[in-house]
Structure 1
Amino acid sequence: MSGGVDSAVAAARAVDAGHEVVGVHLALSRMPGTLRTGSRGCCTIEDSMDAQRAADLIGIPYYVWDFSERFKLDVVDDFIAEYAAGRTPNPCLRCNERIKFAALLEKALDLGFDAVATGHYANIVTDDDGNRELHRAADWAKDQSYVLGVLTAEQLAHSLFPLGSTPSKAEVRAEAAARGFSVASKPDSHDICFIPDGDTRGWLAERVGAEQGDILDRDGAKLGTHEGAAAFTVGQRKGLNIGFPADDGKPRFVLEVRPKTNEVIVGPREALDLSEIAGSRFSWAGRPPQDLGSPLECMVQIRAHADPVPATLSHRDCELVVNPEQPLSGVSPGQSAVIYLGTRVLGQFTIDRTVSAAPIHVG
């Protein structure tokens, strides 16, 4: 129970469904002020109190479990290491993968519980052979299946998402109000919970370093300087501080971050278009496809709020390889690509390499 409206209603619905429910809030930091407060994040002392009030109204036991050390190692330190390597990680996806449906689920099973229920908007469907599948939520606008794409078949077997079939978030808020929950109108959390003031660049500079380096064009010509390559992501336009325009007068975007040489490569928007993405770190959300010897038609989603695009999926040389029908834009190594068959999440991989739709020559 994060202290928000979704997990409160999910817990109440689990009780209504006849389950024996215990509310658990995750303490992810031992230092007050290192996680967001109010509506800007989750898992703070304020949120813990909100969760306890909801648990009291529902009439279920409530506990706070300290996962701060594991959260630091598996989410925060991973976030820092990925940026230091020039990649762009998704900390919410890592939290689901390594904390909520790994550390939390492991402890729950050890204590004799059957499953972990959360307020995520997603559905679990059982096929004719008894295999559990992860599917999009009924409300696509609130669908969170992307950040759950890391779940395995074993984890899906012990997961419940009571809100998955709800037509809209407005209905959840109305239900919360009817149940008397004080969080009924609490704003949704957003941004990265472990960066207190939302200044990701400044936060990274303190931990990765902010040594001045060069901003180069694709031919290797120096255009300017930056105060730390780790602060930049592929596709970024703002904050380049290049003192003169491109020859064609069009804006330039970050095409590549090179942490070893502390260089940032920039170029035109069309240079961001990719014809292929691939990764060797992948997992299947339930039963894997029977045969990937030939390309499989699918949909691929590269961000939590991006639209899925038609593509083909292949398995080559220990990698999952996706070729979109139309070029993908602004994709960075470190992002997660989630594969869909209709509404079903087939699996996901961390993007290790990309292939440009048009050759890019760097001097």
Structure 2
Amino acid sequence: MVTLADVARHAGVSASTVSYVLSGKRSISAATRERIQRSIEQLGYRPHAGARALASSRTNILALMMPLRTDIYVPVLMEIAMAVTTTARAHGYDVLLLTGEEGPEAIRRVEGSALADAIIVTDVELDDPRLPYLKAAERPAVLIGLPADTSGLSCVDLDFEAAGALCVDHLATLGHRQIAVLGEPPAVYARGTGYAERTLRGLRTAAAEHTVGLLHRPTDGGHAAVAATVTRVFEERPATTALVVQNEAAIEPLLTVLRRDGRAVPEDVSVFAVCAGQAAAQASVPLTSIGVPAQEMGRRAVERLFAHLRAQEPPGTVLLAPEVDDRGSTGPAPTAAPAR
């Protein structure tokens, strides 16, 4: 392994001079700096992360807090992680992935050590227990998600409330008067997860404005759970002509149940999804949807972090506007809901 001393000998300077060039703490002549840089490149020297942190007070590492739970759709998280990693690398940074459900303890660990220069937080709850620690931390942080109180925080997310309203606007325009929502698993709502609660708020607000009946039923993603939920929906609201699904794991079971029951999409029932675009596009019936722009969210979060590290941008919220991808799974409401 090439060391700093090796670089110094190759360049014909002292080790301290090499250290000053790396840290930028002292002015070194252009000729000497260029000679040291050539030696670094020729020898393939890479500063040790710990030594680099001591020299510059920077680790060139971002911490990405991404709890991996059984009730979340992992592909979306992986898209976010890939976008965060590639954007960070473009800035010369690496990413430390924290996947445990440690909550505030993980923030204390990052804050109390030289693990990372800044933090990106996902799976944000409305009353997230991590928020007081993030606000008190010296290291900048960006949330991919929106809590109830965003004061003093930087957040990036899809405008899920607008997405929920857009679903109802789209369906109401097609003449649907009774809409049912197959939501995320019950545990997601029990945690007060921001995106799910905000989508529901948008759905309910728009339904009231359009005088549309709205029934919300959380569901696990397995076939039996979805079948039971769909049966219950049509028993409670037989006039239902449109379904909104915000649960990637429930999409295929839902379409299977509708086929089993002889309900054609969209002739008998329209289906609109709020989910990863790939999940909607690759379903057995391609679904009209509002996609979750995971890559854009990850990229924007990193760019905001670097703006904070350079003290160029105050805290604030960036909400990405929802867009409808019409794949033909929604259509005019039938004159009467089919009897089953």
Normalised by the shorter chain, which TM-score bucket?
A: under 0.3
TM-score (norm 2): 0.26
TM-score (norm 1): 0.25
More helix by share: 2
More strand by share: 1
Query: Which structure would you say has the larger Rg?
Result: 2
